[in-house]
Amino acid sequence: MTASPDAKPRGTRLPRMARRRQLLDAAQEVFVENGYHAAAMDEIAERAGVSKPVLYQHFPNKLGLYLALLDLHVDDMVTRCREALASTTDNKQRVQAAIGAFFDFVSTQGEAFRLVFESDLRNVAPVRQRVERSLQESAEMISQVIQEDTGCSSDEAHLLGVGLVGMAEVSARYWLTSDGSIPKEAATQLMARLAWRGISGFPRTG
Amino acid sequence: MTASPDAKPRGTRLPRMARRRQLLDAAQEVFVENGYHAAAMDEIAERAGVSKPVLYQHFPNKLGLYLALLDLHVDDMVTRCREALASTTDNKQRVQAAIGAFFDFVSTQGEAFRLVFESDLRNVAPVRQRVERSLQESAEMISQVIQEDTGCSSDEAHLLGVGLVGMAEVSARYWLTSDGSIPKEAATQLMARLAWRGISGFPRTG
DNA sequence: ACCGCACGCCGATCTTGATTTCCATTGTGC
DNA sequence: GCACAATGGAAATCAAGATCGGCGTGCGGT
């Protein structure tokens, strides 16, 4: 059940970086399961097999710990999206790849996507900023492609980009909960077809 | 700034239902501004011009107050969506109307949509249940239409429905933040066209 | 192989902030 | 004029984040 099978040798001494990594893993488990507010520093420490003060020797406070984790996964998401769009120059393929990036992201071990897509701290400025960055940057990249392909105005392309990212995000999350009823490949292609048909008919369709 | 202009006649006696309504208004303001956790019962009471015990005579606790408010707006959202789909039998018009429902909903006074779309309590069971209901029911209605129109399987239609709802929700929220750059009508039609083109080309497009 | 140092670790505690409740007071309808 | 209900200020309660001083272990120098 725990990320590291070496659960609680509550006496082992670890080099600093190894310990830090272990703390991040434990924190991710707890934050993902309970969200930020319901997560207790006590439990994170216990899950990592250390005491609370150790936690505070590695991170300034609960928010700092959360942000470190959040940055990791926001970067991950944005990178996946960027690489998907760069993986080909055929725009139809690009749509397919980008949608796939979202489905891959939510499939990632530990359901870490919840930190980015379902954070219960969006009201706190630094968190909101990071979460919106993941949406904005993905949408920005996509809107670039849309502008080239359709000749929309910048504002319109941005709105479309945001909408498509939202579609991908929400459908990927839903697909994950109904696991088994539709294989990932099929789901990805289904949504990609929806998106592509929607975009491609744009420049002069009434 | 306050919802009720009659701000603080801190001595007026109100009939029970009027008082309750006033408390709900005040609570909505505070919950929307700060989210659930950062909202203080103190401030809600003060904003309504009463003292805390009064609040607890109308609602069992903070969560109960929040749920009462949430139910109101979840019902509102689902109803708007249902009425949009029932407003016509032409599926293209239906898409337009449904997307419009989301844009209308986020334009509602007080940005109350944040309670449904950006709740920081999704990890609490009764809240999660209600929030997901708004997504599920909207998506269910839409997937019905999609099934009739395209002959997709039920699973596929559901996934598409969820994706479209996600698209509408996220794009509507984004449109609201960038207020002014695109008029609501234009934004709605833009997203509706994207959705409609996407769906309509479905049954036999490879 | 031995000694001393430095560092990572722990149990117990402090502090803060928010929800929830209690009692004296004030104003109201009969 | 009187009983009653509602109100307000203040206090009890509680959970969780953050901290303090000492302990034990592994490592580098001799």
Long-range contacts of B13-20, Cβ-Cβ distance < 8 Å, separation of 24 or more: B19/B50, B19/B54, B19/B58, B20/B58
Contact criterion met (CB < 8 Å) for A182 and B122? no
Residue A125 belongs to some domain of the structure: yes
Residue B205: its pLDDT value, please? 41
Residue A146 has pLDDT above 50, yes or no: yes
Residue A107 to chain B, least CA–CA distance (Å)? 16
Domain at B81, CATH number: 1.10.357.10
Q: How far apart are CA B16 and CA B116, in angstroms?
A: 27
Residue B121 belongs to some domain of the structure: yes
How long is the CA A66 to C1' C8 vector, in angstroms? 23
In chain B, residues 154-193 whose CB comes closer than 8 Å to chain A:
155-156, 158-160, 162-171, 174-175, 178, 181-182, 187, 190-191, 193
Contacts of residue B159 in chain A, CB cutoff 8 Å?
171, 174-175, 178, 182, 187, 190-191
Residue B64 belongs to some domain of the structure: no
Query: What is chain B's pLDDT, residue by residue, as a tens digit (206 residues)?
Result: 333 333 344 556 777 788 888 899 999 999 999 999 999 999 999 888 888 888 898 898 999 999 999 999 999 999 999 999 999 999 999 999 999 999 999 999 889 999 999 999 999 999 999 999 999 999 999 999 998 888 889 999 999 999 999 999 999 999 999 988 999 999 999 999 999 987 776 654 43
Residue type, A160: L
Q: How far apart are CA A160 and CA A164, in angstroms?
A: 6
Angle at A168 between CA A163 and CA A174, to 5 degrees: 125
Does residue A156 come out as left (phi exceeding 0), alpha (psi in the -120 to 50 range) or beta? alpha
Residue B108 pairs in a beta bridge with: none
Residues A165, A143 share a domain: yes
Residues A120, A21 share a domain: no
Residues A28, A92 share a domain: no
- Among B163, B181, B190, the residue with its CB nearest the CB of A191 is B163
Domain at B48, CATH number: 1.10.10.60
Residues B178, B155 share a domain: yes
Q: How many CA atoms are closer than 13 Å to the CA of A196, on its beta-carbon side?
A: 19
Domain count, chain B: 2
Residue B32 belongs to some domain of the structure: yes
Residues B135, B45 share a domain: no
Contact criterion met (CB < 8 Å) for B160 and A120? no
Residues B127, B77 share a domain: yes
Cα torsion A90, A94, A100, A101: sign: positive
Q: Which residues of A6-24 are buried (b: 16+ CB within 10 A; e: fewer)?
A: eeeeeeeebeeeebeebbb
Residue A77 belongs to some domain of the structure: yes
Residue A115 belongs to some domain of the structure: yes
Residues B79, B170 share a domain: yes
Residues B101, B55 share a domain: no
Domain boundary among the residues A31, A59, A87 is at A59
Residue type, A185: E
Angle at A138 between CA A134 and CA A140, to 5 degrees: 120
Residue B1 belongs to some domain of the structure: no
Contact criterion met (CB < 8 Å) for B159 and A191? yes
Residue type, B43: E
Work out the burial of residue A116: count CB atoms within 10 Å of its CB; fewer than 13 is exposed, 13-18 middle, 19 or more buried: buried
Domain boundary among the residues A15, A35, A59 is at A59
Residue B185 to chain A, least CA–CA distance (Å)? 12
How long is the CA A67 to C1' C13 vector, in angstroms? 28
Residue type, B13: R
Residue A65 belongs to some domain of the structure: no
pLDDT in tens, A8-27: 455 678 888 889 999 999 99
Residue B206: its pLDDT value, please? 37
A146 touches chain B (CB under 8 A): no
Residues A83, A38 share a domain: no
How long is the CA A20 to C1' D27 vector, in angstroms? 21
Host domain of residue B41: 16-59
Residues A170, A108 share a domain: yes
Which nucleotides in chain D lie closer than 7 A to a protein CB?
A: 6-10, 16-21, 25-26
Residues A100, A51 share a domain: no
Contact criterion met (CB < 8 Å) for A190 and B159? yes
Residue B193 to chain A, least CA–CA distance (Å)? 7
What DSSP character marks residue A111? G
Please indicate whether residue A3 or residue B131 has the higher confidence score (pLDDT): B131
Residues A136, A37 share a domain: no
In chain B, residues 25-84 whose CB comes closer than 8 Å to chain A:
34-35, 37-38
